[in-house]
Amino acid sequence: MAESLEPEDIELGPVLSALADPHRRHVIHELVNDTDGSERPCTSFGLDLSKSTRSHHFKVLRQAGLVHQVDRGNRSGVTLRRADLDARFPGLLSLIGSEKES
């Protein structure tokens, strides 16, 4: 789980692909609007999914460079890579954060 892309290796294709999924976009929407930027447990986003499916979605987000994920033993926490993403793709996070979710 430690692997993380370097900021300059974050690419728009995988980022958009990750965000095309509504569950993953929901996670990023929540993180964008958590303005304190604190770490969130992966279980805190109200995703009604099996553990393995939820893990898959967080892996996609992590591998695209959208989040950092850390293993806390009995749980896993994520933080948004806000500064990296704002530097690489200005406007992207506000676009996701302002989406009206249905």
Q: What residue ranges bind its own copies (CB under 8 A)? A: 12-14, 16-17, 19-22, 25, 89-92, 94-96, 99
11 Cβ neighbours under 8 A, 6+ residues apart: 65
State the nearest-atom distance from the C-beta of 6 to its own copies, in Å.
17
Paired with 77 in beta bridges are 41, 70
Instruction: Using the minimum distance from each CB to its own copies, give the nearer residue, 25 or 77.
Output: 25
CA distance 45 to 26: 8
Strand partners, 78: 40, 69
Q: Please say which residue, 43 or 94, places its beta carbon nearer to its own copies.
A: 94
Closest to its own copies by CB, 43 vs 98, is 98
